[in-house]
Structure 1
Amino acid sequence: MVDFNSPILQIGSTVAMLVMALTVIFIRMKASHRPVTVKKIIIPPLAMSTGFLMFVEKQVRIPIWWGIIAFLVGWFIFSYPLIRSTRFEKVDGQIFMQKSRSFVYILLGLLAFRLLLHGYIEQHISIPQTAALFFLLAYGMIVHWRISMYRQYQQITGPEAAM
């Protein structure tokens, strides 16, 4: 049986989260050089939704109100800086994300805050439950951000070009 409260597992999960977050930051910075499409806006939250399969495992389950709160924190708090810093521009008939230094700083700030919050919460509940909470927080954040991106994309391209 795996001891989910072992220090090695806690450090490993934090390092893995840090590596994944930095990878996402790097990918987001490279993406600003490619045109934005509806598929590129919609696919990340759809692909991420497969993460809900984690709740099949009993050790990951959390009270529903914890999940709702985590999702709403992601939706209303964590997504806000991303929404405010994401702007599109039309170049030669194609839509691109405007390059923004603040976007990188916002992603790094969210990462730092998330690591601190993760470390605190991890002391009070199991690692699998912490993972569930942070998945729901991230899911709420990305869904709200991508809905905002889609709306902005529609405004630039017009409703007939959105699909």
Structure 2
Amino acid sequence: MATDIKKLFEALTQHQAYLYRASSKTVNELLALFNDDTSKMLSKLRDLLDELNESEKVALAGGKYTTSNLREIRDLIAQWFASVNLALPEAFAVSATALAVYEANYVAKLYGAKINKPDGEKLFLSAKKVPLAGGALVDDLLSRIAESARQKVEYAIR
């Protein structure tokens, strides 16, 4: 009995280390996605800002997009925001769905059960109802994202 518990503890400890590496990899992928989009936007923004005359700079500081150059800056930032709000949640949903399938199979195998074909989307939807560290639900975390991007994440999960 004690040997079985020790083996189970070792298996779960090893699995926890794997999960830490997998989540670190996912976070790094999400950061790379964000950084790539942001770098491209900042490069274009720098060029657009260099082209502004003094009156346009004053208007920009006041939040007034009165010229075509200023509207181009506003549109660039809006496009970047939309891109990030779409790409990050979609990438997270794909990763979380894959992890849900893996976890279901792992736990079933660990305890000697068998799952014919786990449905990652259902597993992810169930996992979204369980609080994360700090008590936040996945939906609560996603609620800060623009509603349209949030809907696209849910569509991607489906």
Do the two structures share a fold, i.e. TM-score over 0.5?
no
Normalised by the length of structure 2, the TM-score is: 0.35
Q: TM-score, normalised by structure 1?
A: 0.34
Q: Which of the two has higher C-alpha Rg?
A: 2
Q: Greater strand percent: which structure?
A: 1
- Greater RCO between the two (CA within 8 Å, min separation 6)? 1
